[in-house]
Amino acid sequence: MRANYKYLDDINFPSDIKKLSQPELKVLAKEVREELIDTVSETGGHLGAGLGVVELTVALHYIFNTPNDKLIWDVGHQSYPHKILTGRKDKIRTLRKGDGLSGFTKRTESEYDPFGAAHSSTSISSALGIAVANELSNKSNNVIAVIGDGAISAGMSYEAMNNAGASKTKMIVILNDNDMSIAKPVGAMRTYLAKILSGNIYFSFRETVKLIISAFSKRFSKKAGKAEDFLRSAVTGGTLFNAMGFYYIGPIDGHDIDSLISVLKNAKDINIKGPIMIHVRTKKGKGYEFAEKSDDKYHGVSKFNISTGVQEKTKSNIPAYTKVFANTLIKHAEKDSKIVGITAAMPSGTGMDKFGEKFPSRMFDVGIAEQHAVTFAGGLATEGYKPYAAIYSTFLQRAYDQVVHDVAIQSLPVRFAIDRAGLVGADGPTHAGSFDITYLSTLPNFIIMAASDEAELVRMINTSVDINDRPSAFRYPRGNGVGVNLPPIDEKLDIGKGRIIKEGKKLALINFGARLQECLIAQENLSKKGVNITIIDARFCKPLDENLIWQIATDHEAIITIEEGSIGGFGSHVGQFLAEKNLLDSNLKYRSMILPDRFIDHDKPELMYKYAGLDSKSIEVKVFDTLNSKVIIKKIN
């Protein structure tokens, strides 16, 4: 931590905050903001969201008795100020590094993190669960959920609010309204919240206290009743939340500590039945000029220069996979008016922003609503359109039921562009694309592809354009390609056909996905040791290239499959085929290399793959072990 803060130097836990006066809290908030900027300039990570909730974080820990009172941050990407104030100040510069602090809330990291998630829209549900558990246990602890205006628009939030309002369980929901999620929020909720704010209804300190006391008073006078009606009226925006059973307060200025403390104190002390919604208006990137002026309010940043705001970028002439996807899809869309793009609140992350610039009427950002995105794509497909649903692997998990029931069962030709496949580095296990091969390859009549390099990605996109009788998916990793030339958009693949990259003897290594380069490095090192192996790029998990696998199985003593996915994926399908064809009854040895049966903590991607046993050295060891060449194993270790 940077030294010589007037108050922050002496703040280690929230109990220390309670010793300060309200004027001193404002100075503390300024120091927390400075420490946050200074930290993220060194570590990279999520900046804008944390800057926007500094005053709110200070006020929450000042009023509530955390960790006995449970404070839940939706997603958790805005929790850096919370970490600074809850015993992790001295470790804050280890954010998102190996063996360091997580970039999100994490139960195993601190008792001040009662619920970890890192996917949006879970906070109200989990807070209600904790609040009901408190009731069942006769506990009086407060439960507070902080959720953004983007996250509250997702279906799970509505489900939770509906249940919370009906349950009459006391809990507090803070709606952090900054008019931003990762990109601009979309949909009717955004319009609704904007209407609340359009009348300049920011209650003054005195008005806010007066209205809250009036609304929550046990004895409602005629005047107090009018105050409550006003408080929940359409003018203040209370109608929707009131209809769902919430006591609605706001909007209030989320950067005014005095108002925040008064509102939070009254919400804490009032003895009522039912949930409270406090609508707080904040500014994402608050207090850092470059963040405030940024289109995405500096949502996620690499290391940067504080004085100039310039972020460090790795210079490379090799395009990122996401850019290759976007550019290729645009080329096809120029020729085919039926191609449409869909994203779930991730236009820049998936490349759909570029597609949208070119075809604004054919790109649909549906907000944080992956379930809706998939079924929406299914509807488009029924009318002859060619929807491309570009969704991160980890987020597509949220829509698995829709993939099964609304797309796969009906054999609708939705094309799933699965970005961030495999391990993703600093975001850790919550954002890793570990399971998509498994959860999609179990579905009948689905075409599953994985790109081994950027040229293969282009070929897979080219191929998917003409798949009109069933759903298809192609997966590709985060980051840059490997530097190969890109093929033209008319170069396509034969469905279900792999390719032989290197021909050797005894052992064949069948790769599915982006581990091909590590396979080639291992192959080169093995050849120097006198072991020549066959390298195959499978391209398809479904349908399998059964003829090629049969040929390899009969020509080699051993087969090893490798993929950056969990058990049940490509290797399992190959093993099933070999068993069904009685090929394992011969002298054929079969092994598979997959992600281990554990969640891998955040670190540099290359180290994560080393820990997972999917780097080139691990491949070499696996080859020698399969061939029972133990003497050579000791040498390479």
Q: pLDDT, tens digit, for every residue of 527-542?
A: 999 999 999 999 999 9
> Would you state the pLDDT for residue 227?
43
> Would you state the pLDDT for residue 295?
62
Q: Give residue 107's pLDDT band: very low, low, confident or very high (50, 70, 90).
A: very high
Work out the average pLDDT over 126-154.
Answer: 94
Q: Please enumerate in sequence order all residues whose Cβ is within 8 A of that of 314, keeping only pairs 6 or more positions apart, or say none.
A: none
Work out the average pLDDT over 203-231.
Answer: 44
Work out the average pLDDT over 386-401.
Answer: 97
- What 3-state DSSP class applies to 25? helix
> Would you state the pLDDT for residue 226?
43
Q: Topology of 8-301 in CATH?
A: Rossmann fold (3.40.50)
| Residue percentage of the chain with pLDDT more than 90 | 79
Average pLDDT in the chain: 90
Q: Give residue 568's pLDDT band: very low, low, confident or very high (50, 70, 90).
A: very high
Work out the average pLDDT over 314-325.
Answer: 92
Q: Give residue 297's pLDDT band: very low, low, confident or very high (50, 70, 90).
A: low
Work out the average pLDDT over 221-237.
Answer: 43
> Would you state the pLDDT for residue 225?
44
How big is the CA angle at 486 (ends 482 and 488), to the nearest 5 degrees? 165
CATH class of 499-636: alpha beta
> Would you state the pLDDT for residue 234?
37
Q: pLDDT, tens digit, for every residue of 86-101?
A: 999 999 999 999 999 9
On the question of pLDDT at 247 being above 50, the answer is yes
Residue 339 vs residue 167, higher pLDDT: 339
In this structure, what token pair is assigned to residue 496?
């279900």
On the question of pLDDT at 220 being above 80, the answer is no
On the question of pLDDT at 622 being above 90, the answer is yes
Q: Give residue 617's pLDDT band: very low, low, confident or very high (50, 70, 90).
A: very high
On the question of pLDDT at 632 being above 80, the answer is no
> Would you state the pLDDT for residue 556?
96
Question: Which residues are designated catalytic?
Answer: 284, 370, 398
Residue ranges per structural domain of the chain: 8-301, 321-475, 499-636
> Would you state the pLDDT for residue 174?
97
Alpha carbon distance 456, 437 (integer Å): 17
On the question of pLDDT at 198 being above 60, the answer is no
Instruction: Tell me which amino acid residue 142 is.
Output: N
> Would you state the pLDDT for residue 315?
78
* Owner of token pair 């069948």: 510
DSSP conformation class of 97:
S
Work out the average pLDDT over 613-630.
Answer: 91
Q: Give residue 69's pLDDT band: very low, low, confident or very high (50, 70, 90).
A: very high
> Would you state the pLDDT for residue 3?
62
Q: Give residue 484's pLDDT band: very low, low, confident or very high (50, 70, 90).
A: very high
Q: Please enumerate in sequence order all residues whose Cβ is within 8 A of that of 270, keeping only pairs 6 or more positions apart, or say none.
A: 212, 216
On the question of pLDDT at 487 being above 70, the answer is yes
- In whole angstroms, what separates CA 259 from the centre of its chain? 33
> Would you state the pLDDT for residue 635?
41
On the question of pLDDT at 188 being above 90, the answer is no
> What is the CB-side half-sphere exposure of residue 504 using CA atoms within 13 A?
23
Q: Please enumerate in sequence order all residues whose Cβ is within 8 A of that of 437, keeping only pairs 6 or more positions apart, or say none.
A: 448, 450, 475, 512, 513, 541, 563, 565, 566, 569, 570
Q: Give residue 271's pLDDT band: very low, low, confident or very high (50, 70, 90).
A: confident
Alpha carbon distance 593, 325 (integer Å): 27
For the chain, percent helix, then strand, then coil, each to nearest 5?
45, 15, 40
Alpha carbon distance 431, 477 (integer Å): 12
> Would you state the pLDDT for residue 251?
87
Q: Give residue 209's pLDDT band: very low, low, confident or very high (50, 70, 90).
A: very low
In this structure, what token pair is assigned to residue 292?
């405030």
- For 567-627, the three-class secondary structure string (H helix, E strand, C coil) is CCCHHHHHHHHHHHCCHHHCCCEEEEECCCCCCCCCCCHHHHHHHHCCCHHHHHHHHHHHC
Query: Is-same-fold flag (321-475; 499-636)?
Result: yes
Q: Which of 24, 31, 29 is nearest to 5 (CA)?
A: 31
Alpha carbon distance 48, 348 (integer Å): 16
CA distances from 416 to 330, 341, 446 (A): 16, 10, 11
Alpha carbon distance 113, 79 (integer Å): 10
Q: pLDDT, tens digit, for every residue of 423-466?
A: 999 999 999 999 999 999 999 999 999 999 999 999 999 999 99
On the question of pLDDT at 221 being above 90, the answer is no
Peptide bond into 444 cis (omega under 30): no
- What 3-state DSSP class applies to 254? coil
The interaxial angle of helices 616-626 and 516-528, nearest 10 deg, is: 60
- Residue 277: count other Cβ atoms within 10 Å of its Cβ: 28
> Would you state the pLDDT for residue 273?
87
Strand order through the sheet with 172-177? 70-73, 143-148, 172-177, 276-281, 247-253
Work out the average pLDDT over 491-515.
Answer: 97
Q: What is the pTM of this model?
A: 0.87
Q: Which of 582, 573, 532, 519 is nearest to 553 (CA)?
A: 582
Q: Topology of 321-475 in CATH?
A: Rossmann fold (3.40.50)
> Would you state the pLDDT for residue 300?
83
